[in-house]
């Protein structure tokens, strides 16, 4: 095994080892997040239908708009169906898929290096065999 290939293998093993150590040291993701309290105004913003305002709504009897036109978005049946079908049909690549892609790429690189080494070695051997040798 050539020194460059062994160095590449050593370097990749150290990289994988450091990644796994980092996962153990600092777990991350939605499951490890701490819950955060929202202020009452933020809660009202994200949940507008939970509490009706105590003041009389001036626009309930008339056709005026309580919000600017840009803030009023009417969801249609087509938009709801399109969003729900796109969310259900998507496929995600998990950790195994990412690891497979990385190892596949490393395998292709190592294979290309091996083929290059064999081609160069054969070319050198053919040049030595074809050289003119003096008769003794």
pLDDT tens string 61-92: 566 665 555 545 554 444 554 545 445 555 78
Q: Where are the beta strands (DSSP E) in 16-61?
A: none
Res 37 pLDDT > 90: no
28 vs 120, more confident: 120
The Cα–Cα gap between 13 and 17 comes to 6
Q: What is the mean pLDDT of residues 106-114?
A: 96
Please write down the long-range contacts of 10-18, taking CB distance under 8 Å and 24 or more positions apart.
12/106
The pTM (predicted TM-score) of the whole model is 0.33
Q: What is the mean pLDDT of residues 39-60?
A: 71
């Amino acid at each position: 095994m050539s020194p460059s290939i062994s160095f590449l293998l050593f370097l990749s093993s150290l990289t994988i080892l450091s990644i796994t150590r980092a996962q153990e040291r600092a777990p991350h993701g939605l499951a490890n997040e701490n819950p955060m309290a929202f202020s009452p105004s933020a809660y009202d913003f994200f949940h507008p239908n939970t509490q009706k305002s105590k003041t009389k709504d001036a626009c309930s009897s008339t056709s005026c708009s309580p919000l600017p036109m840009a803030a009023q978005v009417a969801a249609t049946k087509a938009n709801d169906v399109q969003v729900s079908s796109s969310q259900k049909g998507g496929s995600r690549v998990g950790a195994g898929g990412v690891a497979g892609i990385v190892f596949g790429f490393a395998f292709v690189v190592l294979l290309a290096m091996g083929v290059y080494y064999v081609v160069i070695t054969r070319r050198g051997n053919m040049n030595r065999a074809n050289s003119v040798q003096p008769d003794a």
